[in-house]
Amino acid sequence: MFGYSMAEIGNIMVMQGFAGLSMFSVLLLMALGLAIIFGQMGVINMAHGEFMTIGAYTTVMLSKLAVAYGFVNYYFIFAIIVAFVLAFAIGYLVEFTLIRHLYKRPLDTLLATWGLSLVMQQIFRSSFGAKEVSAELPEWLLGSFQPTPDIDIPINGVFVMGLAAVVTFGVFLFMFRSQWGLRVRATVQNRVMAGAVGINTKKVDRVTFALGCGIAGVAGAAFTTIASTGPTTGTLYIVDSFMVVVFGGAASLFGTIASAFGIAQAQSILQFFMTSSMGKVATLLTIVGILMMRPEGLFASKVRK
Amino acid sequence: MKTLSDKLLGGKQGVLGLALLALLIMVILPLGLDIFRLNLVGKYLTYAFVALSLVLLWGNGGILSLGQGMFFGLGGYCMAMFLKLEASDPISTKIQTTPGIPDFMDWNQLTALPWFWEPFKSLPFTILAILIVPTIFAYIIGFAMFKRRVGGVYFAIITQAIALILSILIVGQQGYTGGVNGITDLKTMLGWDIRTDSAKYILYYVNALLLFGCIFLSRYILTSKFGMLLLAMRDKEERVRFSGYDVSDFKIFTFCVAAMISAIGGAMFTLQVGFMSPSFVGIVPSIEMVIFAAVGGRMSLIGAVYGTLLVNYGKTVFSETYPELWLFLMGGLFIAVVMFFPDGLAGIYQKHARKIPFLKRWVAEEKQKQTDAHASHGKVGTKLGAEA
């Protein structure tokens, strides 16, 4: 097959699989935020990629600071928190000034947030320059470990995966085990009734939107460990993460995880055997094809329409 | 009953609007601008086809397609393939390893013309392909989506993904499509040099006439019973369905017409600008074309043309002098149009036209007509009369 022996193919699968896992983690973090926002409010946030870029630039800036003051080994955890807080705050502001006026017009929200993403990209370009920058990684993130001589697994990938797992678990706790999550789910199910029992649905919307953006910020911090950041970094992931959300079935946490895994792995493994662009085309085409058969996504919650 | 001419021209106000636009495009701009600038306007007007198609699809049908660029691109590529084959005759390509095939194929070690390029040696086939290929493509997408009642934001996202797929495919398959540079160095059409000034004038007028043709076609569709159903579908889809209409068929038809109109624009783009590249196919151009329609007024066919001209003029001016400001402005435009002027320029015009003394009488008459229409046709008719 393709001129490789079976053992080699096995090794390639494992290595590409792990490369796919880093991508899976970033995609998952991006899609989690999107899924929360989309599932909750039916709002498509085209500027979501730019919130990821905010997180990425925050990490890069903090790493510069860390290099200057010599705390490179500890800054990263700190950077994740700052990235989250910053993206959360900006998301909160955006919801307040823009999104909340457009809830009744979902298609218009799409256009307005696209406009927002253009403005944000230009802000990044004006303040950080058009060149791509990368963060100084702490030593414990560098290198790789080799379980067998042919297999090489980068540590940063494992770390990013762990981060994604922690955040996913956190989102699960927030949505299904906390008072806040209860309010969010109540608002999704029946907005009017939720309002009637005393839930401040507007506040719920605002916090949900900001939370989604905050998670995108964390995705940005994770992103810096696997690639360098430029003003248009966010646009690379936006279509993929939308596909993840739609493919998995909006408002389904498990669906989002499963489809992020499927899409990232398919792209990563196909990219090895075809050219990188054809791998992407094949993956996206398959998803679009499946979505045409099953528009509600793979794991849609069963609701009567 | 409305007569055919009423349907096409849209009453007195419609005639006035069309006449003004025709005066601007056919007389004022060609007289006032040198050929370089006029060619640029011609290029903008090819985008107006797409804006027009979005008025049909999005403004009146409520279906937002974020992939209109792919139909523009398909039309453009069909035209470019024909012109490229003519430009790469064996004599002018004799330095290549395989003479007689387009230069980029030779660079990519192709030794024979791929089978799907073969029919593009004939102009009638090419013209047919420009009209039919995008339509079939739209039919497949539309059939798969609308029959399963996919709409709204899902449709927008999926069309966007398809536009992305198509642009990656074109960039990736360099040997067959010319890759990221696109198909360039187009020279003649049936021996007629399209690069001379006189050819540019002729093409500009052909383009303008086709644009008006498409405006008439769209207006005919919108003022017919079909147009009323389209509007009704946008506002209360379930109710139209329960009245016994197959909503999906209407949507598929509109999507196909919109695709065909966009493709005509694409083909004219190739002829006037002399190349076609994937940068007119992907996500960014597709969504930019939505803003042309939004600025002009998503409900107004004529507004879409003005919107396209205005935004592109702004883009040219700003990217020449303050390239950094342009993205801010473009982004701001998206936000402002959506937040403050959802009906675009046409909305502003309709709001303020009654204050201008000269226009007062027209507006008053229109109002009277609408009241009459209201009495006989009910609410949908009124809305249509006011906005089409």
Residues of A at the B interface (Cβ-Cβ below 8 Å)?
A: 42, 44, 98, 101-102, 105-112, 114-122, 125-126, 239, 242-243, 246, 275, 277-278, 280-281, 284-285, 287-288, 291-292, 295
The predicted structure's pLDDT at residue A217: 94
Containing B140, the helix (H) or strand (E) segment is helix B123-146
CB–CB contact B327 A118 (8 Å)? yes
**How would residue A3 be classed by pLDDT, with cut points 50, 70 and 90?**
low
B349 versus B254: the higher-pLDDT residue is B254
Q: In Å, how far is A281's CA from the nearest CA of chain B? A: 5
**How would residue A271 be classed by pLDDT, with cut points 50, 70 and 90?**
confident
Selection from B269, B254, B299, B327 nearest residue B60 by Cα = B299
B351 versus A109: the higher-pLDDT residue is A109
Chain B positions touching A44 (Cβ under 8 A) are 153, 156-157
CB–CB contact A275 B172 (8 Å)? yes
Nearest CB to B153: which of A106, A115, A118?
A106
Closest residue of chain A to B165, computed from CA coordinates: A281
The predicted structure's pLDDT at residue B366: 59
- In our burial notation (b when 16+ CB lie closer than 10 A, e otherwise), range A115-127 reads bbbbbbbbbbbee
Size of interface A-B (CB pairs under 8 A): 111
Please compute the mean of the pLDDT values over residues B44-61 and round it to a whole number: 94
CA distance A221 to B320: 36
Query: HSE (CB half, 13 Å, CA atoms) of A219?
Result: 32
Query: HSE (CB half, 13 Å, CA atoms) of A95?
Result: 25
Contact by Cβ (8 Å): B167, B287: no
A250 versus A171: the higher-pLDDT residue is A171
Sign of the alpha-carbon torsion through B132, B133, B136, B138: negative
Chain A positions touching B337 (Cβ under 8 A) are 111
Query: HSE (CB half, 13 Å, CA atoms) of A1?
Result: 8
Closest residue of chain B to A47, computed from CA coordinates: B331
Nearest CB to A122: which of B144, B152, B327?
B327
Contacts of B164 (CB under 8 A, 6+ apart): A239, A284, B282, B283
Q: Which of A245-259, B106-120, B352-366 is the most confident on average?
A: B106-120
The predicted structure's pLDDT at residue B386: 42
The predicted structure's pLDDT at residue A154: 77
Nearest CB to B161: which of A107, A126, A284?
A284
Please compute the mean of the pLDDT values over residues A65-74 and round it to a whole number: 82
Q: Which two tokens stand for residue B87?
A: 């430009």
To test the contact with chain A by mutation, choose from B63, B66, B150, B153 the residue with the greatest count of A C-beta atoms within 10 A, namely B153
Nearest CB to B153: which of A44, A287, A291?
A44
B312 versus A279: the higher-pLDDT residue is B312
The predicted structure's pLDDT at residue B383: 42
Contact by Cβ (8 Å): A34, A241: yes
Residues of B at the A interface (Cβ-Cβ below 8 Å)?
A: 58, 62, 64, 66, 144-145, 148-150, 152-154, 156-158, 160-162, 164-165, 168-169, 171-172, 283, 287, 290-291, 294, 324, 327-328, 330-335, 337-339, 342
Cα A140 to chain center, whole Å? 24
Containing B189, the helix (H) or strand (E) segment is strand B188-189
The predicted structure's pLDDT at residue A305: 43
Closest residue of chain B to A283, computed from CA coordinates: B165
DSSP structure class, residue B97: S
Residue B108 has pLDDT above 90, yes or no: no
Chain B positions touching A291 (Cβ under 8 A) are 158
CB–CB contact B165 A284 (8 Å)? yes
Question: For A126-140, B36-50, B248-262, which range has the lowest pLDDT when averaged over its residues?
Answer: A126-140
Question: For A8-17, A198-207, B109-118, B356-365, which range has the lowest pLDDT when averaged over its residues?
Answer: B356-365
Q: What residues does A133 pair with on adjacent strands?
A: A229
Selection from A291, A229, A293 nearest residue A262 by Cα = A291
Residue B379 has pLDDT above 50, yes or no: no
The predicted structure's pLDDT at residue B385: 40
pLDDT tens for each residue of B158-186: 899 999 999 999 998 888 888 888 898 88
Q: In Å, how far is A164's CA from the nearest CA of chain B? A: 25
Give the position of tokens 């769209």.
Answer: B218
Chain A positions touching B65 (Cβ under 8 A) are none
- Tell me the CA distances in angstroms from A176 to A32, A92, A182, A196, A214, one per residue in order: 14, 22, 7, 21, 19
**How would residue B387 be classed by pLDDT, with cut points 50, 70 and 90?**
very low
Residue B246 has pLDDT above 80, yes or no: yes
Please compute the mean of the pLDDT values over residues B227-248 and round it to a whole number: 90
Residue B388 has pLDDT above 60, yes or no: no
Q: What's the pTM value of the predicted model, to 2 decimals?
A: 0.87
Question: For A43-52, B219-228, B310-319, B320-329, which range has the lowest pLDDT when averaged over its residues?
Answer: B320-329
Closest residue of chain B to A94, computed from CA coordinates: B335
The predicted structure's pLDDT at residue A235: 85
CB–CB contact A287 B164 (8 Å)? no
Selection from A60, A61, A77, A49 nearest residue A219 by Cα = A49
Contact by Cβ (8 Å): B55, B218: yes
Selection from A37, A10, A23, A63 nearest residue A266 by Cα = A23
Residue B219 has pLDDT above 60, yes or no: yes
Question: For A72-81, A288-297, B82-91, B138-147, which range has the lowest pLDDT when averaged over its residues?
Answer: A288-297
The predicted structure's pLDDT at residue B321: 83
Cα B223 to chain center, whole Å? 20
Pairing of strands B192-193, B188-189: antiparallel
The predicted structure's pLDDT at residue A301: 57
Closest residue of chain A to B143, computed from CA coordinates: A292
Average pLDDT value over all residues in chain A: 85
CB–CB contact A98 B153 (8 Å)? no
CB–CB contact A111 B291 (8 Å)? yes
**How would residue A166 be classed by pLDDT, with cut points 50, 70 and 90?**
very high
Q: In Å, how far is A276's CA from the nearest CA of chain B? A: 9
CB–CB contact A277 B169 (8 Å)? yes
Closest residue of chain B to A296, computed from CA coordinates: B150
Contact by Cβ (8 Å): B229, B245: yes
CA distance B40 to B316: 9
Nearest CB to B162: which of A105, A280, A288?
A288
Q: Which of A171-175, B21-25, B52-56 is the most confident on average?
A: B52-56
CB–CB contact A116 B331 (8 Å)? yes
Q: Which of A248-252, B329-333, B368-372 is the most confident on average?
A: B329-333
pLDDT tens for each residue of A25-34: 888 999 998 8
Give the ipTM: 0.86
Domain residue limits, chain B: 4-387
Backbone φ and ψ for A145, nearest 5 degrees, come out as -120, 150
